[in-house]
Structure 1
């Protein structure tokens, strides 16, 4: 038997029902914590309500007693003999009986909004500095972290009733979570999901607002998943969510690292800061004996793997380049309908991986999902079948065949690395003689150097570039377009590009340019149903815009 299988079985991963859990990464007695926290809620009836995820009223006094016993530091001002029905840091979400958490953000200071929260029914405040109000106030140094702890208690510490899997990295998180969900659902499990596209409790799902939402939303959706009877909860763990304590009190059984490339540097400052945020998922949130899967072809992943090994934390390596990795995939072929690869475990051939999505990077994503499934104890065939039967990942390399013989690919790629991978995937998959057209913009309030990089990359690798709008927020979309244009010119794209800010008209321009064999990359929007202009979310969807243009131009479309 291959070494990799021995390691999986020795770790207890071969169990397919929820095993006894090892405890939190911080080394606390998890069972004891659950007893103390859940004791507050025993005997309370939920009445089938799953909308918010919070349990019925709990005394603030009891919540604080549990947190103090667990080592949380705070100062109480006022009488804590009030009942809490929820917690939030958004005044618009405050309901009667809520605790309002005063968080200082980039644009607003929650302390200045406390009056509004109290008018809406808040009965307690979490603050960094005492305020002149007559309600009980809990003074802490880190309101966000404290909010996560309270949220977890009010929701009954739901992650401890779930097998939670977290995937982090710059790119590939969404696709990997959908692939793993496909494996688990195919085996009959009910699975909750949280990420960039949707939040799901295993039965109902809503369009996501952000990749990793606030802690009270994370805990609320996990509570819903428990109430719906989910066994697993698969989620994307963003660097923002990790650094801003949105995942406090979430216990992960398994975690995976996809890759790390420059993004969100406006927030993290440096790549080192960005890496440290991602690294925390494996060191601070995943159980000591949990499953950790790392892409070692990525330089940051290679570093993470080494640091885990030095810390004595078990992990599995995956690679498309190094046959000695724990999980290795040898790509056999890629076309516009998907990719094929042979999978090896510990040097032994395990089976054939059929990925119904174009691109070698999706082989990485599939191999990550496969490795997680194997680490969680499922068989080779169970893992391979779940990936093979994946229906779709919304807005991720969704291929459409136009009646004029051209192809359109709708994808969420909105960073230089993601765009480079999308272009490479299309170049490898498309036939000879076709032209490659890239249509994209760049988000406002973001690291503008990336806009230039994307323009240069597209000019160097594509035959034509259409520069358009993509969530400009408070920036001037034409100014953003000029940054992209400068990159296009630097990449030698003079005479091979156009600027059309109206995104639907930009698609029309690309469609009119296309002919048989061409591939149109519609990058950046993916499955989004809006365009963010200022603080407004204006209705827009890429698939719908493409279909409208094709109908108006007298062309048809086939979903591949």
Structure 2
């Protein structure tokens, strides 16, 4: 594509230098990835400002620079008010508006996003679609998996990979959309067909000023569905959540609600929950059925109701949805049982907010036959105000809590633990900074019939300390420890 044609897409700009008819081979925001005939876009990020790397980009072969600040370089500079918005617009155009050729389902909310994307992937795959998933764990295109840096990657990554998905005949894309991504414009230009809302509980208040600001960020997904009614767009919203109205008011498109209350269009009733199963009835004006699945916990019932509601908007037959949910295996690190061969149960879960931790522990309370040990910490360089609330949730539903390090990142691990426990006066908890030792402590003390919950990291295979990621998998460590415990006995 010619540089002039690409730059012509930007309505508000100031051009410094002569824009030629040179061909742009790639668009880059990382100067290290720039090669001959690249267009380099300067993004001012949290830790690095791309405007500082224009000289390196030019040396590497950039034929023009997109900037929002004054920069000195030997190639043309196109100055715009917001390089993030410009990048989204240019990437969408450069890759041929690929998201408009896909069924894109966006999922937002504090808890349940990853599980819901996996459930929808199972349903649409069972329905016969080739699917792609973008989210916390990775990006999946068909059967191939690729690493991702953020839950919702930047706009350049998204549009480039939407093109790849179109070229590989993907029909349906299910993606997690974080509040950070919405606030920062990472999904600008993405043509989303169905926006889905799970819930909103305290998290990320290190970034958002308060819960209302957090809710507003989530609502952007629904306002960005647009104002036209001829393109088949819909929203799916958990009507039982206290912030549901914020999402509804932001949305001009038809809304399908789900939940357990009578207000829900797609409603779950007659719940039966077990250690490794759940069953419930689904009623709506459109259909009624009973769902039986290997997933457990009320929170997973909500996730399945959301999946049913989204699939309904695509006219997926209810029998297809039902069969897919019966066969689903769930999500790695979400209420994942480490071992079923020994009399002590170990469950690993990604719960890292007060509400998600409480949901998991409530589900365990419904199935427990003896004591519950909870190993839990809280992430560093993140919302400090949720730490005591997580501790309270753990203390409320556990017989003994072992507070430990999660991903301290650049914070002092002991300071995080102090934030969690300084207000506690009860004695039914321990503080063990080293996570491996904390897991060992819980498993050593658990007796037949006990449940050990290891919360906070779930599927993650690393622990980040002082900015360095060290290999660490809660599931592997717990499995080795419990096998050793019973092999020695």
Q: Is TM > 0.5 for Structure 1 vs Structure 2?
A: yes
What's the CA shift string for 1:167-190, capped at 9, x where partnerless?
101111100010011001112211
Contact 1:199 1:221 in 2 (8 A): no
- Aligned residue for 2:393, secondary structure, equals helix
Q: For 1:414, which of 319, 329, 352 is the aligned residue?
A: 352
Match of 1:134 in 2: 74
Match of 1:99 in 2: 39
Contact 1:295 1:302 in 2 (8 A): no
- Aligned residue for 1:83, secondary structure, equals coil
What's the CA shift string for 1:335-355, capped at 9, x where partnerless?
110211100013x76111223
Once the 2 structures are TM-superposed, how far is the Cα of residue 402 of structure 1 from its aligned partner? 5.0
Contact 1:201 1:222 in 2 (8 A): no
Match of 2:136 in 1: 196
Structure 1 residues 136 and 355, CA gap change in structure 2 (3 angstroms): farther
Q: Distance in 2 between matches of 1:266 and 1:150?
A: 31
1:248-259 equivalence runs, <5 A? 248-259=188-199
Match of 2:343 in 1: 405
Q: Distance in 2 between matches of 1:382 and 1:139?
A: 51
Q: For 1:268, which of 188, 192, 208 is the aligned residue?
A: 208
Q: Which runs of 5+ in 2 are unaligned?
A: none
User: Matched residue pairs, number?
Assistant: 484
Q: Distance in 2 between matches of 1:90 and 1:408?
A: 42
1:450 aligns with 2:386: yes
Structure 1 residues 375 and 131, CA gap change in structure 2 (3 angstroms): same
Q: For 2:19, which of 70, 80, 92 is the aligned residue?
A: 80
Once the 2 structures are TM-superposed, how far is the Cα of residue 307 of structure 1 from its aligned partner? 5.0
Q: Distance in 1 between matches of 2:100 and 2:412?
A: 46
What's the CA shift string for 1:42-89, capped at 9, x where partnerless?
xxxxxxxxxxxxxxxx22211122x14xxx311222222233222232
- Aligned residue for 1:501, secondary structure, equals coil
Which deviates more, 395-404 or 525-534?
Answer: 395-404
Which deviates more, 531-540 or 471-480?
Answer: 531-540
Structure 1 residues 349 and 64, CA gap change in structure 2 (3 angstroms): closer
Q: Distance in 2 between matches of 1:214 and 1:93?
A: 15
Q: For 1:440, which of 376, 387, 395 is the aligned residue?
A: 376
Once the 2 structures are TM-superposed, how far is the Cα of residue 532 of structure 1 from its aligned partner? 1.6
What's the CA shift string for 1:369-390, capped at 9, x where partnerless?
0100011111111111111211
Q: For 1:152, which of 92, 102, 108 is the aligned residue?
A: 92
Match of 2:406 in 1: 470
- Aligned residue for 1:266, secondary structure, equals coil
Contact 1:358 1:426 in 2 (8 A): no
| Larger relative contact order (Cα-Cα within 8 Å, sequence gap ≥ 6) | 1
Q: Distance in 2 between matches of 1:410 and 1:486?
A: 26
Once the 2 structures are TM-superposed, how far is the Cα of residue 208 of structure 1 from its aligned partner? 3.0
1:300 aligns with 2:233: no
Once the 2 structures are TM-superposed, how far is the Cα of residue 555 of structure 1 from its aligned partner? 4.8
Once the 2 structures are TM-superposed, how far is the Cα of residue 554 of structure 1 from its aligned partner? 4.1
Structure 1 residues 438 and 93, CA gap change in structure 2 (3 angstroms): farther
Once the 2 structures are TM-superposed, how far is the Cα of residue 116 of structure 1 from its aligned partner? 2.7
TM-score (norm 2): 0.94
Structure 1 residues 157 and 294, CA gap change in structure 2 (3 angstroms): same
Match of 1:329 in 2: 268
Match of 1:521 in 2: 453
Q: Distance in 2 between matches of 1:360 and 1:195?
A: 23
Once the 2 structures are TM-superposed, how far is the Cα of residue 152 of structure 1 from its aligned partner? 1.5
TM-score (norm 1): 0.83
Match of 2:438 in 1: 506
Structure 1 residues 402 and 356, CA gap change in structure 2 (3 angstroms): closer
Q: For 1:233, which of 159, 173, 178 is the aligned residue?
A: 173
Once the 2 structures are TM-superposed, how far is the Cα of residue 403 of structure 1 from its aligned partner? 4.3
Once the 2 structures are TM-superposed, how far is the Cα of residue 401 of structure 1 from its aligned partner? 3.5
Once the 2 structures are TM-superposed, how far is the Cα of residue 493 of structure 1 from its aligned partner? 3.1
Q: Distance in 1 between matches of 2:69 and 2:148?
A: 33
Contact 2:105 2:193 in 1 (8 A): yes
Once the 2 structures are TM-superposed, how far is the Cα of residue 98 of structure 1 from its aligned partner? 2.3
Question: RMSD in angstroms over aligned alpha carbons?
Answer: 1.8
